[in-house]
A and B are shown apart, each in its own frame.
Chain A
Amino acid sequence: MRPSRRLLGAAAVLVVVVTAAVLAWRLAGGGDTAHDVVARLDLVDDGPFALRLGGALWDSRTLRDRDGAPDVAYVTGDEPLAVDVTGRGGHRPAAVDLRVDGSSAARRSLCAGGACPRHARITVVAPVAERGAGPHRVTVIARGETGSDTARARFDVTVVERLPKVREGEPVARRATRPTRPAIGAAERQLTRSVIDRERRSGVLRGVLGRTPYTVEAIGELHRGAQRVGTTILLSLARARTGVKSDVPGYQPDSGPAGYRLGVISLAAPVVRDLLVDVDLARRRVIAVEPGPGSRTSAWDSRDASSPTGSHDAD
């Protein structure tokens, strides 16, 4: 037993020494390696050449999720790209070409004295920033000795002049006990309710709300930018109203002192369960009435050009 243990120990030492020697030789530029960089490299093509990419530019590339939606990072300058290429099946890489938006941006020959390596790792700085802000496509092509054997990889980066500023926050709290202060005080709430109750009796809410009991689901501030206009309130009807047809007020934003321009909308709603009502508190008037997300409408027509017909945005 003792001789065989000694033999195993000697063999282990020999393996360590040889491995260290090979590593030192390769890191010093010997063998087939043109240059070495310390980086995590991802395999991107595996044809006649195994092509791996890494470095800051690669890390900043646009990623895509399973739905194809982008995950974007920003590049502000020319960042390094590590390219690692290994020949397969007797192929040997002769050069690496770098293109930005289809135009040649850099070329590195890998062969020295007529001999091309089996493996090369280089770092190139891709001139993406000089192409200006916006998305750019980077293409890496590894070419073999014959020119017809190639491996290529493409990726996209987004250049900006400067990184967007961001503020840092504290870790979030669980079960926060922060007191919740109502956004609208009692006085404004009472005034809003009094305007609504007046209008449901004999005004613009008579046809759409009438005497139907309601609860206030939410109430908040109505603005025109920095200018406070009044309140906006979401009413939930105790029972749905059906077959509603009524002219209701609506508005368009306006630069005048009120902040809006009033109009009239012809509303037809087979079912009204909830209503958004905007109140100009200073003028004590209802300026908008809209069926909420629980209500069904069949007509919503402006009676004049100044009335809103709902946003044409899509979400």
Chain B
Amino acid sequence: MPEIVVENLYKRFGDVVAVDHISFTVRDGEFLTLLGPSGCGKSTTLFAIAGLDRPDSGLIRVGETNFFDSASGDFIVPEKRNCGMVFQSYALWPHMTVQENLAFPLRLRKVSKKAREQRIEEILRLVELELQKDRYPHQISGGQQQRVALGRALVYSPTILLLDEPLSNLDAKLRERARSWLKRIQGQLGITTIYVTHDQMEALALSDRMAVMQAGRICQVGTPQEIYSSPAEPFVADFIGTSNFLRGDTVGAGDGGTIAVNLEGSDQCLRIKAGKTFAPGTPVLISIRPEKVQVIDPSSGAALPAGNYLEAEVVDRLYYGACYRYRLKVDDIVVRVETEADLPTGTVWILLSSEGCAVFEADPTQDAAAEPPI
């Protein structure tokens, strides 16, 4: 299976830049997810790879073949790219049965009747739809339609597989099942796959690597673990999972890469390992996951561990079964915390361990830390 290379891809619709000079590579057999909010350019990128949208400039190469190259003017029409694609709405042809939907691409490739039937049977077994082959799309359930769409995309052994939010029309339970099923099939076939979604859980669960996109550009590419634990930008920290954001100005550098931060909305000072150096007085944004915040009940008499703690008030809490979600206030700053501990009302200590935090230079024009919902 070939790799997919996208270089400097650029596409605008009127005044709106949909895709702004993005580059990435999908390795042979890899499952890469393009993740981002709606309008971030992820679907445009996918459609450009499929050939359904013509980019303004850049390069798209699959294996040795240039699908699109603005430098040489190469553009291969979609029907000659041999991509398998699953659409958000599945796009099953309503006038054809399941079997006919699968047969159509094979007939276009002039596959003999016998080989065709054999191949269809093989694929129907793979997507577990042998019994539905003579049904029309409207006669089968949403989950089954989604599997037909995948079967149709795989039946002609495509070079690469492109998936455009294929699970977004399924209900929550079914989506979870379909997710692990999809992952299994992709692993079995080892086909190079690009998956587009706005659902972070889906991206985290499915991807070998994921690219987080915003406003036409890629913010970060990495494994799900990398993206979750060390977001490269506040946007990534905010979009993937939930994060607390603390604003402040650096006071000065301490020993061993620690910095001291005067928090905005509080007169407490935070000392933290930043991993990078900041000039004193730099406005910074510190993000931390709610489950990474340690909370200590002062009345428990526990010894305060060495580290960086802040005094906080418990505002309210919600019980989630496996854990509690608290809203705490460090002076004027609201901090969300997820913990199993049953805390008393009143004052607690919270500990921000350095490995759980990410420190960014703040963009003064952006206000990432609005009042968070619990």
Q: State whether these chains interact.
A: no
Residues of A within 8 A of B (CB): none
Chain B residues proximal to chain A, CB less than 8 Å: none
